[in-house]
Amino acid sequence: MNNHKLHEQFKQSLIKEKRWVRFYQLLISIAFFSLWEIASRSKWIDQLIFSSPSKIYTLLVENVVDGTIFVHIGYTVFETVLGFIIGTLLGTILAAILWWSPFLSKVLDPYLVILNAMPKVALGPILIVAMGPGMNSIITMGAIISVIISTIVIYTSFKNVDGNYLKVMQTFNASRFQMFKEAILPASFPTIISTLKVNVGLSWVGVIVGEFLVSSKGLGYLIIYGFQVFNFNLVLMSLLIIAIFATIMYQLVELLEKRLIKSE
């Protein structure tokens, strides 16, 4: 036995393990959907409420063929992406302002806590009245739900950057802006990325609730409409689509993370 052979064996065992992991992952989803289908057909569960995978699939195909679903997906995804970007960007900017002025951050501290604790979706009705029942208020919902928590988390990360990096900057007579640009901001990239990951989920919540309230277009509207006409096939189908697109967005953020944080 030489090292090369052992290494090959080791690689083989890694591949083998990965295959088993994939196998069980697949098994779980197959088992879940089959059980659901069987339970529904054998009337163990109420078909009207819990639907069945085959019915959802048929509905999905119908909607894809006549193209109606794409309008709704388009609206919701657009609103979510925009809400998510605005929320994170605004959070970062606010955090930068707080870092800039320690006095201001002390003054605003209790207000941030209150705003963070408050359920932002409760602002929905006010937003809709103020901004009109359209896309603007929904995007605002998507942003507002993540902005305060982003501010708090990113500001904490700004504050926790090792003071010795700033000392190095200070000996080079760096201005406060230079310190922020060269040290504080890049040192906080990992934190900003992890807030992005959290914000993906939060923005979906904001946008779906917004669409519940506005009820004109989008996947959130389909859910509330399906609920009103008691069409749970539609509700579950929308839910499935949301799950798929939320996952895609999350994966994109992870891709961005790998690109941005080369040095870690």
The residues of the shown chain that bind other proteins, judged by CB under 8 A, are: 162, 164-165, 167-174, 178, 182-183, 186-187, 189, 261-264
- Least CB distance to other proteins at residue 251 (A): 24
Assigned token pair, 17? 């393990």
Distance CA 26, CA 53 (A): 16
Nearer to other proteins, 45 or 166 (CB): 166
Nearer to other proteins, 43 or 167 (CB): 167
- Least CB distance to other proteins at residue 188 (A): 11
- Least CB distance to other proteins at residue 13 (A): 29
Nearer to other proteins, 147 or 179 (CB): 179
- Least CB distance to other proteins at residue 184 (A): 11
CA angle (230, 231, 234) in 5-degree steps: 145
- Least CB distance to other proteins at residue 74 (A): 37
C-alpha torsion 43→49→55→57, nearest 10: -130
Distance CA 128, CA 132 (A): 5
- Angle 68-100/135-159 helices, nearest 10 degrees? 40
Assigned token pair, 244? 């798929």
Nearer to other proteins, 43 or 262 (CB): 262
Distance CA 248, CA 240 (A): 13
Distance CA 211, CA 221 (A): 5
Residue 243 CB partners (closer than 8 Å, separation 6+): none
Beta-carbon-side half-sphere exposure of residue 112 (alpha carbons within 13 Å): 21
What secondary structure letter does DSSP report for 182? I
Distance CA 90, CA 150 (A): 8
Nearer to other proteins, 13 or 178 (CB): 178
Nearer to other proteins, 133 or 186 (CB): 186
- Least CB distance to other proteins at residue 162 (A): 7
